[in-house]
């Protein structure tokens, strides 16, 4: 009886973990894609010479 209950508990825990992971997986995908995209804009677009030129043009320094 106790063994059966323990086994049922284990199965339920496994199902919960699986269901948790199933719910988490889309969020992991979103975060990964978002991070790759943001990094691309920061490094390849804003970090490029054209990006730097535009930034310098539209965000003039206030020194002096």
Contacts to another protein by CB under 8 A:
25-27, 29-30, 32-34, 36-37, 39-41, 43-45
Angle formed at CA 41 by CA 46 and CA 27, multiple of 5 degrees: 155
Residues 1, 9: contact at Cβ < 8 Å?
Answer: no
The least distance separating another protein from the CB of residue 23, rounded to whole angstroms, comes to: 11
CB of 45 to another protein, least distance (A): 8
Measured from the CB atom, is 43 or 54 closer to another protein?
A: 43
Whether 40 and 32 have beta carbons less than 8 Å apart is answered as no
Nearer to another protein (CB atom), residue 6 or residue 53: 53
- Three-state DSSP at 59 gives coil
């Amino acid at each position: 009886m106790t063994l059966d209950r323990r086994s049922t508990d284990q199965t339920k825990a496994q199902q919960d973990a699986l269901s948790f992971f199933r719910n988490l997986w889309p969020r992991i995908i979103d975060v990964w894609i978002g991070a790759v995209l943001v990094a691309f804009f920061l490094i390849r677009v804003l970090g490029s010479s054209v990006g730097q030129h535009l930034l310098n043009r539209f965000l003039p320094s206030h020194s002096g």
